[in-house]
Amino acid sequence: MVPDNRLKECIDEVLLLSLFKSFCELNSAKEAQQKLRNIFSRSSDAITTTSNIIKNQLSEELTEEESENLYPMIKAFLNRSPYRKSIPDSVKKDLLKKQNNKCAICGAKIDIHSHADHAVPFKYVGDEFENNYQMLCTNCNLKKNASIDYQIRFLLKTI
Ligand SMILES: [Zn+2]
């Protein structure tokens, strides 16, 4: 049995990721991203601005909590660099410890030579989104590739 709070967490995350994916697709043009960067730089309240943008673009009314959770992703999307940072072994070691040396998706045994993956794919958030790494086995890493949908399906499978 999955505890209720874990269930809610998963559903919230799935909703957030699918909303974020729609947002990124809608704003895939460089001009659209520049326009958004301008809006945020003029705004004194990034959370309210996030909620207004989502309301205008996707006709979704976000709660304050949802806007607070979405804003760091949007910020990463708008500030991301195309260059990958290398992930230090110390970060990989911490992740392995947290994951009990198991792949975050399938649970296969992994080690320090396994892949550090961006849970929200690099193409959407670059390396600018905090706490976004997870360790995966080679197989899951190849299957997941840069897909947000894969992460969503994985989350749904855990509930
Ligand atoms: Zn795996």
- Report yes or no: 66 and 16 within 8 Å, Cβ to Cβ: yes
143 C-alpha to ligand 1 centroid (Å): 9
SS3 102: strand
pLDDT for res 70: 97
Model-level pTM? 0.89
- Report yes or no: 23 and 58 within 8 Å, Cβ to Cβ: yes
Q: Tell me the residues surrounding ligand 1 (ion) with CB < 5 Å.
A: 103, 105-106, 108, 137, 140
H-state helical runs in the chain: 4-26, 30-42, 46-58, 64-79, 89-98, 122-125, 138-144, 148-157
136 C-alpha to ligand 1 centroid (Å): 5
72 C-alpha to ligand 1 centroid (Å): 27
144 C-alpha to ligand 1 centroid (Å): 10
**Rounded to whole angstroms, how far apart are CA atoms 108 and 129?**
26
Q: Which domains does the chain have, with CATH numbers?
A: 4-79 (no CATH), 89-158 (3.40.1800)
pLDDT digits (tens, 9 = 90+) for 54-95: 999 999 999 999 999 999 999 999 999 999 999 999 999 999
pLDDT for res 91: 95
Which residues of the chain fall short of a pLDDT of 70? 1-2
Q: Which long-range contacts (CB under 8 A, 24 or more apart) does 90-94 make?
A: 91/116, 91/133, 92/116, 92/135
102 C-alpha to ligand 1 centroid (Å): 8
146 C-alpha to ligand 1 centroid (Å): 15
Burial class (CB in 10 A: 0-12, 13-18, 19+), 86: exposed
142 C-alpha to ligand 1 centroid (Å): 9
pLDDT for res 1: 58
131 C-alpha to ligand 1 centroid (Å): 19
The dihedral over CA atoms of 140, 5, 63, 133, expressed in degrees to the nearest 10, equals -30
pLDDT for res 156: 86
